[in-house]
């Protein structure tokens, strides 16, 4: 009878210990799961901030989202911005540019700005970028990568505009660069390009609530008609300074007939856009290489001061008259200021002047805000929105991140022996049983 009572007590003690182990294990495992999930979430978020996935970036820049909502404030007005050195590469039809920004304490400073002549005009045959052109592009991007690395860039982004939109082998170019350098080139639409450019101008340059904005590049001209400082009509004209030169100009400068052909082509494309001026506007806000080069030329020739940013239409006529004839003297005027625009400056000015006259506008505003700035702003916005603990149950996190957190947590719950507190209780219990048997 005594043996039965002793055995019952042992059994009772065993049951109590087992229940205690399970209770401690579950509670501790829950605590560990929470701690581990938070730590893992922080690691994942840091990884997202420093190495944001290409798919996420593609969504940012190629989606149809409203840019004005995404970048409602300039970066200096935002809180909790990521910090570090960022590199933005713009593969355009005229120029391949690199801008390196220092983002610190919610302030953005442009540290370095480089530019190389684009490969599109010199290495395109049958509307395809040639193998030599692809090699030249790879060489430029490789050099830019070295510059970014030496300047401590933590995040880079390479995008292309009409340079790849208008050729017949963009996939071949993108794949070659990816295979050789591991760099992704993101091709953005004309409409998205216009929205990004306007966003930068809106934050940095607009002086009127209503007007017209253009970003004239080598292969296209993005146009936005804005009302109350918001885009009303967004369009892209597949005609730029480089395409105008290639299509209509035989010499260095266009002659009278070629100038007229460029003007008529511009008018034809503008009519297709069907942008109606419902509000009287006098001002055209412009960005892009042609607008910048025009300002530099006017300053160099004494038409405006260096700090002036408003150019009357009549002054464009004077500039075109000043460099009208294809002479060595006139070529040198451009070479001394903007040598890379020797062939495309005059066609570009004709396009801008035609747009101004078509919409009965009086002034061209040179804008400092560039599409590269807006691309940086969107990258910062995207990374800021991800700078919060990852919720494994959220559908907004990537499937890989979510499944990784769930996987780690499940291991802890399913294996209580992995809990150090439970292991300690088991060891103590084993020692007690061993001593009782002795």
Max mean pLDDT among 1-10, 108-117, 255-264, 358-367 falls in: 255-264
pLDDT of residue 55: 28
Helix (H) or strand (E) holding 232: strand 230-237
Q: With a cut of 50, say whether residue 36 has pLDDT above it.
A: no
Distance CA 69, CA 51 (A): 24
Distance CA 106, CA 178 (A): 32
pLDDT of residue 212: 92
pLDDT of residue 416: 38
**pLDDT tens, residue by residue, 282-295:** 889 999 889 999 99
pLDDT category at 274 given cuts 50, 70, 90 is confident
218 near 242, Cβ under 8 Å? yes
Higher per-residue confidence, 318 vs 418: 318
Looking at the DSSP assignment, which residues form a beta bridge with residue 99?
Answer: 88, 113
Burial of 242 (0-12, 13-18, 19+ CB in 10 A): buried
pLDDT of residue 97: 94
Nearest CA to 319 among 302, 341, 337?
A: 302
Distance CA 48, CA 373 (A): 21
pLDDT of residue 278: 63
**pLDDT tens, residue by residue, 183-197:** 999 999 988 988 898
Q: With a cut of 80, say whether residue 43 has pLDDT above it.
A: no
pLDDT category at 23 given cuts 50, 70, 90 is low
Looking at the DSSP assignment, which residues form a beta bridge with residue 426?
Answer: none
> Can you list the pairs that 355-358 forms with residues at least 24 positions away whose Cβ atoms lie under 8 Å?
355/212, 355/214, 355/221, 355/223, 355/266, 355/270, 355/284, 356/284, 356/313, 356/316, 357/313, 358/266, 358/267, 358/270
pLDDT of residue 355: 95
pLDDT category at 404 given cuts 50, 70, 90 is very low
- Which whole number is the average pLDDT over 315-328? 94
Distance CA 354, CA 317 (A): 11
Terminal-residue alpha carbon distance, the chain = 21
258 near 132, Cβ under 8 Å? no
Rounded to 5°, the CA angle 196-201-204 comes to 130
Backbone φ and ψ for 300, nearest 5 degrees, come out as -65, -35
pLDDT category at 384 given cuts 50, 70, 90 is confident
pLDDT of residue 411: 27
| Alpha-carbon torsion angle 384, 389, 395, 396, nearest 10 | 10
In the chain, % of residues over pLDDT 90: 50
pLDDT category at 383 given cuts 50, 70, 90 is confident
Q: Which domains does the chain possess?
A: 2-51+389-437 (no CATH), 70-189+375-383 (3.30.420.40), 206-367 (3.30.420.150)
- Which whole number is the average pLDDT over 377-388? 74
Looking at the DSSP assignment, which residues form a beta bridge with residue 55?
Answer: none
| In 237-370, alpha helices (H) | 241-248, 256-273, 289-300, 313-322, 328-337, 345-358
pLDDT of residue 340: 87
408 near 40, Cβ under 8 Å? yes
Higher per-residue confidence, 79 vs 407: 79
Higher per-residue confidence, 368 vs 79: 368
């Amino acid at each position: 009878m005594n043996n039965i009572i002793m055995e019952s007590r042992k059994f009772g003690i065993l049951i109590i210990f087992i229940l205690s182990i399970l209770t401690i294990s579950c509670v501790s495992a829950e605590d560990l799961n929470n701690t581990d999930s938070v730590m893992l979430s922080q690691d994942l978020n840091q990884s997202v901030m420093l190495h944001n996935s290409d798919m996420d970036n593609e969504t940012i820049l190629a989606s149809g989202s409203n840019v004005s909502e995404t970048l409602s404030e300039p970066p200096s007005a935002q809180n909790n911005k990521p910090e570090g050195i960022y590199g933005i590469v713009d593969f355009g039809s005229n120029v391949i540019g690199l801008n390196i920004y220092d983002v610190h304490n919610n302030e953005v400073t442009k540290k370095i700005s480089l530019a190389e002549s684009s490969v599109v005009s010199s290495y395109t045959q049958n509307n395809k970028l040639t193998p030599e052109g692809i090699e030249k592009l790879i060489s430029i991007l490789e050099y830019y990568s070295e510059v970014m690395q030496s300047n401590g860039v933590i995040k880079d982004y390479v995008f292309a505009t009409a340079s790849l939109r208008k050729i017949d082998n963009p996939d071949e170019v993108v794949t070659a660069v990816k295979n050789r350098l591991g760099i992704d080139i993101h091709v953005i639409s004309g409409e998205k390009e216009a929205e990004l450019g306007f966003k930068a101008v809106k934050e940095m340059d607009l002086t009127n609530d209503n007007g017209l904005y253009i970003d004239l590049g080598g292969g296209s001209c993005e146009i936005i008609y804005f009302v109350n400082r918001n885009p009303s009509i967004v369009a892209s004209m597949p005609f730029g300074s480089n395409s105008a030169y290639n299509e209509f100009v035989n010499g260095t400068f266009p002659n009278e007939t070629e100038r007229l052909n460029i003007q008529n082509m511009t008018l034809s494309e503008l009519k297709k856009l069907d942008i109606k001026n419902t509000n009287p506007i006098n001002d055209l806000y412009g960005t892009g290489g042609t607008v910048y080069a025009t300002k530099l030329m006017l300053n160099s020739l004494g038409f405006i001061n260096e700090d002036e940013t408003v150019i009357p239409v009549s002054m464009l006529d004077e500039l075109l008259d000043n460099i009208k004839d294809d002479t060595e003297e006139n070529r040198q005027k451009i070479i001394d200021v903007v040598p890379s625009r020797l062939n495309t400056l005059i066609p570009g000015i004709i396009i801008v002047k035609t747009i101004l006259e078509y919409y009965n506008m009086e002034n061209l505003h040179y804008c400092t805000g560039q599409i590269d700035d807006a691309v940086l702003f969107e990258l910062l916005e995207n990374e800021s929105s991800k700078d919060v603990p990852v919720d494994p149950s959220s559908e907004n996190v990537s499937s890989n991140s979510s499944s990784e957190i769930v996987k780690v947590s499940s291991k802890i719950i399913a294996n209580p022996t992995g809990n150090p507190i439970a292991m300690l209780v088991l060891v103590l219990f084993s020692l007690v049983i061993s001593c009782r048997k002795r």
